[in-house]
């Protein structure tokens, strides 16, 4: 039986000014192919989040395929409302979250909304969205029933925040995962530093700093996913989750459903594993400048390419991101990481010109020629204390409104 929760009918719910994030704009990818940016207006759908109960399965679908299912505040509220409704519903045993269309699960949030708030002189307004988003990220990790996410296609930024903290994370041959925030002079959030800080070796620093996208095999290797299922078998897995005979535990439930759907097939070998030598060597350095120096000294073409990428990005964003991933390794849990990220995000939004400049260059003027302040890694690195003082300033910042109550 199919049941649609009336609380999730977007067309029946009044919108606030905060819901401008990712509102009905299709997505284009930047020249780098990693930052999914929402641009022009697109027709609204009847409901941006579909919720239905199928047997013992609570099924949520992000329903904005023209915008690669990018999130706005209304969608975040709708997902949270469904989780609230199903938590104590004895007919629901497991929750599935997927995305409409075959191009992406979720491209993240709309940085254009962030840009508009900052330019309007109201950067604190951005905190409304971030607080709701981070609360949902923590809710997903802590939810008492298993949450399964199909990270099929593009899964970036806020999409990682939805998928990365779920109990069961499914990737396919179409999956393309990234935390690309440094490409707009920003820093990874939504618990991304918590996830990347637990990747093997220095993979976390590499992915966080460069914003590189990875496929299913690399996502499994980096710890951002749990199982590989060919996209052609997702319908079978969904049906198995909805119609299975009740096993004794959630683990058995998932294992049986994967078996019925022919999941956990073997993807291609992870390319990151083969690159660990130069990644671990270079990204273990203390500063961004030293990382670049080590990359330039390596014989691998991929190392040189990574150095080129870093040379194009915001030195401030890189310095803060490097420290954030490393500090996240010592934090007690996801909530602590989200609190750290929230402070950094609000520091960027309220004090740093590079964030607005990065969005301008990628989205507004689209000249792909940001004018960072400072302009180069070398300028930031003079005496090393400059990088240390930049990071110290970022981590000392305290937002006007706390994240957790």
pLDDT tens digits for range 132-178: 999 999 999 999 999 999 999 999 999 999 999 999 999 999 999 99
Q: Are strands 57-62 and 94-99 parallel, antiparallel or unpaired?
A: parallel
Is the distance from CB of 97 to CB of 241 less than 8 angstroms?
A: no
In 3D, which of 69, 321, 383, 286 has the Cα closest to residue 189? 321
157 is catalytic: no
- Domain-located, residue 54: yes
- Domain-located, residue 403: no
- Domain-located, residue 170: yes
- Domain-located, residue 401: no
pLDDT of 214 strictly over 70: yes
Q: What percent of the chain has pLDDT over 70?
A: 83
What pLDDT does residue 43 have?
Answer: 44
33 is catalytic: no
- Residue 40's CATH number: 3.90.226.10
Structure tokens at 169: 């994370």
101 is catalytic: no
Phi, then psi, of 352 in degrees rounded to 5:
-110, 125
159 is catalytic: no
pLDDT tens for 224-281 read 999 999 999 999 889 888 886 555 555 676 676 677 666 566 778 999 999 999 999 9
pLDDT of 385 strictly over 80: no
- Domain-located, residue 399: no
Mean pLDDT of 280-293: 97
Selected catalytic residue, list 181, 205, 226, 357? 181
Selected catalytic residue, list 99, 127, 153, 158? 158
pLDDT of 201 strictly over 50: yes
- Domain-located, residue 239: yes
Angle at 140 between CA 151 and CA 155, to 5 degrees: 20
Q: Which domain holds residue 181?
A: 2-394
What pLDDT does residue 140 have?
Answer: 98
pLDDT of 131 strictly over 60: yes
What pLDDT does residue 121 have?
Answer: 87
**Total domain count, the chain:** 1
- Domain-located, residue 6: yes
pLDDT of 13 strictly over 90: no
Selected catalytic residue, list 99, 109, 161, 164? 109
pLDDT of 36 strictly over 60: no
Q: How many CB atoms lie within 10 A of CB 146?
A: 18
Q: For the chain, what is the mean pLDDT?
A: 87
**3-state SS assignment for residue 37:** strand
Confidence (pTM): 0.88
pLDDT of 42 strictly over 80: no
- Domain-located, residue 182: yes
Confidence of residue 19 (pLDDT cuts 50, 70, 90): very low
Structure tokens at 288: 């961004």
Q: Which residues contact 102 (CB under 8 A, 6 or more apart)?
A: 152, 153, 174, 231
Q: How far apart are CA 397 and CA 392, in angstroms?
A: 9
């Amino acid at each position: 039986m199919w049941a649609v929760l009336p609380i999730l009918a977007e067309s029946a719910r009044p919108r606030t000014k905060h819901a401008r994030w990712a509102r009905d704009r299709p997505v284009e990818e930047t020249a780098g192919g990693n930052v999914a940016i929402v641009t022009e207006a697109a027709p609204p759908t009847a409901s941006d989040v579909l919720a239905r109960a199928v047997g013992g399965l609570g099924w949520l679908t992000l329903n904005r395929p023209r915008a690669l299912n990018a999130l706005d505040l209304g969608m975040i509220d709708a997902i949270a409302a469904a989780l609230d409704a199903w938590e104590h519903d004895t007919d629901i045993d497991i929750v599935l979250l997927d995305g409409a269309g075959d191009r992406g699960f979720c491209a993240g949030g709309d940085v254009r909304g962030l840009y508009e708030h900052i330019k309007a002189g109201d950067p604190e307004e951005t905190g409304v969205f971030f607080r709701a988003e981070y609360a949902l990220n923590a809710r997903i990790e802590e939810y008492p029933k298993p949450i399964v996410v199909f990270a099929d296609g593009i899964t970036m930024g806020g999409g990682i925040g939805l998928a990365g903290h779920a109990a069961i994370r499914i990737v396919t041959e179409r999956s393309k995962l990234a935390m690309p925030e440094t490409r707009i002079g920003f820093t990874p959030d939504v618990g991304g530093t918590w996830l990347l800080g637990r990747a093997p070796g220095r993979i976390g620093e590499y992915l966080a700093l460069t914003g590189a996208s990875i496929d299913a095999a690399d996502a499994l290797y980096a710890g951002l996913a749990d199982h590989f299922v060919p996209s052609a078998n997702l319908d079978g897995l969904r049906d198995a989750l909805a119609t299975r005979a009740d096993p004794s535990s959630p683990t058995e439930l998932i294992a049986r459903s994967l078996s019925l759907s022919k999941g956990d097939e073997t993807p291609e070998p992870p390319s990151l594993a083969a690159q660990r030598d130069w990644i671990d060597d270079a990204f273990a350095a203390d500063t961004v400048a030293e990382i670049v120096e080590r990359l330039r000294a390596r014989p691998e073409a991929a190392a040189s390419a990574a150095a080129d990428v870093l040379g194009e990005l915001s030195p401030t964003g890189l310095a803060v991101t490097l420290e954030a991933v490393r500090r996240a390794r010592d934090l007690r849990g996801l909530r602590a990481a989200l609190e750290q990220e929230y402070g950094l995000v609000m520091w960027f939004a309220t004090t740093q010109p590079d964030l607005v400049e990065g969005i301008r260059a990628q989205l507004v003027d689209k000249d792909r020629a940001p004018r960072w302040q400072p302009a180069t890694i070398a300028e930031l690195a003079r005496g090393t204390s400059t990088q240390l003082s930049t990071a110290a300033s970022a981590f000392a910042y305290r937002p006007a409104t706390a994240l957790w109550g």
